[in-house]
Amino acid sequence: MRLVILTQDDPFYLARNIDYLLKKLPPYAEVVATVVFDVSPFGKRESFKDKIKKTYDIFGLPFFLRYGFKFVSSKLDSRNNVRKVLADRGIPLIQIEGNINKDENLEKIRAYKPDLLVSIAGNQIFKRKLLDVATYGCINLHTALLPKYRGLMPSFWVLKNGESHTGVSVFFVDEGIDSGPILVQNKLEIGGMSQAALIDVTKKMGMDAILESIDKIHSGKYELIENDAAQMTYFTFPTRNDVKEFLAAGKRFY
């Protein structure tokens, strides 16, 4: 099975998790190429200066300093570099220009004859022409129990809303947002975890769920779980007031 991974250049969590995924891939699966988007933690493209200001304004000084230090130290550690992890394994990087759905970009991906596209923090909207490039379409990891908590930063929202459990969902991508039929869904008790701990745990769970999904697609033996739009909740990026309520409820970022 020929896989093309669609991801982003996140310096915090993705490199080591993608490395874990690559180590655990079954013999019949091969990552033949990758697309690495520019990082966009706020769900849209912004200048680095705007990202810094927005982080400070929304999350406050202690968070800003802690994650600023973590960002710099991660950039200095090659183990946190997505592109280097891929390069070390000899996996080609597909250079795209602008939106991935442009015909010229689709041709570049199509040249690798993918059986399956695997989106891990892919941060562009995927259109039907892209989804049809691969034989089995595209799967995506979402670190929440869909159809609840579609959208951005589910780890923040499940904590803020006092949920006792969360989890991970791997679904077939359609042209909506986190709306496709679910292939694998695994549940997790939150307990007293901070947001940082929850992200760590769910990212690792997510890699295992992707591996489980690849195996099911390869075997052809699976039953899809409905991603019921009537039960969905959707969340965008938090505001400063949301962060104040998060902290007032005794929740922790780290």
Is beta strand 116-120 parallel, antiparallel or unpaired with respect to 2-8? Answer: parallel
Strand partners, 234: 150
3-state SS assignment for residue 7: strand
**pLDDT on residue 42:** 47
Q: Which CATH number fits domain 2-248: 3.40.50.170, 3.40.50.150, 3.40.50.9100, 1.25.40.10?
A: 3.40.50.170
pLDDT at 211: 98
Read off the pTM. Answer: 0.93
Rounded Cα distance, 114 and 3, in Å: 6
CA distances from 168 to 9, 10, 128, 175 (A): 21, 19, 24, 20
pLDDT, one tens digit per residue, over 23-69 is 999 999 999 999 999 876 544 556 778 888 999 999 999 999 988 88
Rounded average pLDDT per 10-residue block, the chain, 254 residues: 95 93 98 90 63 91 89 80 94 95 98 98 95 98 98 97 98 96 98 97 98 98 97 96 97 96
Q: What's the start-to-end Cα distance of the chain, in Å?
A: 39
What gap in Å lies between CA 108 and CA 154, rounded to an integer? 32
Q: Where are the domains of the chain?
A: 2-248
